[in-house]
Amino acid sequence: MWNLLLMWQRTNQSNLHSYCFIRSAGFTANTLTKIVNGIYKHAGISGPTSHSGRRTGLTNLAERGVGVRVLMALAGHSNMATTQRYIDLRPAMLKAAVELV
């Protein structure tokens, strides 16, 4: 994701002001959402939200065997049920679980 942000910034330097509202303490709550949505638009991807990357990242880690407590900490969630809602079940994950039996 960081590489995508850097690539987008280099190719859209003149438009950066329309996406960034940087405070002295860092990004505002809306800044990263605008940047990520700008990246999706620039890439020609329609439909995803700023949370799509977050959901995909957590699902990819879960698919590689990272436990939900670790995912919960990485996501900054205080409730495990919240983290579990972010994890999509993929056919490969279900197949791997069945093969453990």
Same domain flag for 56 and 94: yes
Residue 47 lies in a domain: no
Residue 65 lies in a domain: yes
Q: What confidence score (pLDDT) does residue 1 get? A: 55
Same domain flag for 74 and 93: yes
Average pLDDT score over the chain: 78
Residue 70 bridge partners (DSSP): none
As a whole number of angstroms, the distance between CA 17 and CA 26 comes to 15
User: Range of 71's domain?
Assistant: 52-99
pLDDT in tens, 20-68: 444 445 667 677 778 778 888 888 888 887 778 888 889 999 999 999 9
Same domain flag for 61 and 36: no
Domains identified in the chain, total number = 2
Within 8 A by CB and 6+ apart from 52, the residues are 40
Residue 18 confidence class, pLDDT cut points 50, 70, 90:
very low
Same domain flag for 60 and 94: yes
Q: What confidence score (pLDDT) does residue 2 get? A: 57
Higher pLDDT, 79 or 43: 79
- Closest by CA to 50, choosing from 63, 65, 69, 36, is 36
Same domain flag for 37 and 69: no
